[in-house]
């Protein structure tokens, strides 16, 4: 049985998104995996859903360095307009190849970011992320 119903990946790297799709399917991570190449495309699709409360992804994997609207701008837009539905329903993981300490600190300053994860995505990583989510559910 899939671990999540709906996962959203926002990343402009086609090789990474291809591999992420394969790895998520290998571990039955989600019923539905949705991909966006930049933050603007993701916001355009997610805004109406966040307003209505329907078809909201359970998990968002967000890259930081993208064209048009980057990951930081995406987070700022979500906080400015949709903080409540996101905090209640969506797990956001920053998933990036950057190990710059300033980026990690900045990501941790966003209350809606659950974790900063360094690429590549692996089956072990996905299993660990799922276990962490389950532990949080049990403790609340």
In the chain, where the domains are located: 4-139
- Is 5 a residue whose pLDDT tops 80? yes
**Of the candidates 14, 55, 54, 49, which has an alpha carbon nearest to the alpha carbon of residue 35?**
14
Whole-angstrom distance, CA of residue 115 vs CA of residue 19: 20
> How far does Cα 90 stand from its chain's mean position?
8
Structure confidence by residue, pLDDT tens digits, 6-53: 999 999 999 999 999 999 999 999 999 999 999 999 999 999 999 888
pLDDT tier at 139, thresholds 50, 70, 90: low
Classify domain 4-139 at the CATH superfamily level. Response regulator (3.40.50.2300)
Task: For 37-57, give one letter per residue: b (16+ CB within 10 A) or e.
Answer: bbbbbbbeebeeebeeeeebb
CA-CA-CA-CA dihedral for 4, 10, 11, 12, to nearest 10 = 130
Whole-angstrom distance, CA of residue 19 vs CA of residue 13: 10
DSSP-derived letter for residue 121 is: P
Rounded to 10°, the helix 39-52/71-89 angle is 20
> What local confidence, expressed as pLDDT, does residue 31 receive?
93
- Is 140 a residue whose pLDDT tops 80? no
Q: pTM to 2 decimals?
A: 0.93
Structure confidence by residue, pLDDT tens digits, 47-93: 999 988 899 999 999 999 999 999 999 999 999 988 887 878 899 99
């Amino acid at each position: 049985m899939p671990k999540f119903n709906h996962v959203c990946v926002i990343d402009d790297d086609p090789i990474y998104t291809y591999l992420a799709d394969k790895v998520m399917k290998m571990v039955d991570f989600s019923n539905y995996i949705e991909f966006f190449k930049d933050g603007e495309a993701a916001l355009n699709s997610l805004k109406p859903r966040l307003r209505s409360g329907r078809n909201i992804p359970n998990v968002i994997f967000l890259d930081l360095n993208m064209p048009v609207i980057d990951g930081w701008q995406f987070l700022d837009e979500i906080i400015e307009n949709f903080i409540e539905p996101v905090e209640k329903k969506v797990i956001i993981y920053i998933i990036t190849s950057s190990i710059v300490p300033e980026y990690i600190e900045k990501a941790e300053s966003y209350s809606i970011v659950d974790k900063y994860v360094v690429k590549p995505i692996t089956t072990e990583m996905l299993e660990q992320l799922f276990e962490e989510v389950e532990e949080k559910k049990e403790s609340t």
